[in-house]
């Protein structure tokens, strides 16, 4: 039972790491991300490994964590850029109409 759960976890992780594209492209990207061979990744993807070795599972999990951290870092950066643009637009608004800019800052546009 536990081995099946781990095999399912590895198959979905390989698909997530691979991103979009054909299965072959996804396998290559996942192999690069995890530092494993494409043959191992293919076997994980299609659940041909019944009992996944711990070192392989650890490599996949580390790659998934790194992928998630990179996505979170990218989202933080995009938020920072949006906040900067919002501040510039609010400064422009203040130059054009100070009363509207005060309303905007009171309502939480900042």
According to the 3-state scheme, what is the secondary structure of 18-63?
A: HCCCCHHHHHHHHHHHHCCCHHHHHHHHCCCCCCCCHHHHHHHHHH
**Domain range for residue 77?**
2-106
- Looking at the structure of the chain, the number of domains it has is 1
**Is 46 within 8 Å of 7 (Cβ atoms)?**
no
Residues 6+ apart with CB under 8 A from 109: 86, 90
Torsion of CA 57, 63, 64, 67, to 10 degrees: 180
- Please check whether residue 30 is in contact with residue 17, taking contact to mean a CB–CB distance below 8 angstroms: yes
Spatial distance between the Cα atoms of 49 and 86, rounded to a whole number of angstroms: 51
Q: By the 8 A CB rule, do 11 and 44 touch?
A: yes
Model pLDDT, residue 12: 95
Predicted local distance difference test score (pLDDT) of residue 46: 95
* Structure confidence at residue 1 (pLDDT): 84
Tens place of pLDDT for every residue, the chain, 110 residues? 899 999 999 999 999 999 999 999 999 999 999 999 999 999 999 999 999 999 999 999 999 999 999 999 999 999 999 999 988 988 898 888 888 777 777 666 55
* pTM over 0.85, yes/no: no
């Amino acid at each position: 039972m536990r081995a099946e759960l781990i095999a399912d976890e590895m198959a979905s992780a390989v698909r997530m790491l691979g991103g979009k594209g054909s299965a072959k492209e996804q396998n290559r990207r996942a192999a690069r991300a995890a530092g494993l061979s494409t043959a191992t990744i293919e076997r994980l993807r299609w659940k041909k490994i019944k009992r996944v070795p711990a070192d392989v599972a650890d490599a996949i999990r580390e790659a998934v964590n790194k992928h998630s951290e990179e996505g979170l870092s990218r989202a933080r950066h995009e938020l920072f850029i949006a906040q900067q643009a919002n501040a510039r637009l609010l400064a422009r608004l203040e130059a054009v109409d100070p009363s509207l800019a005060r309303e905007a800052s009171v309502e939480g546009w900042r």
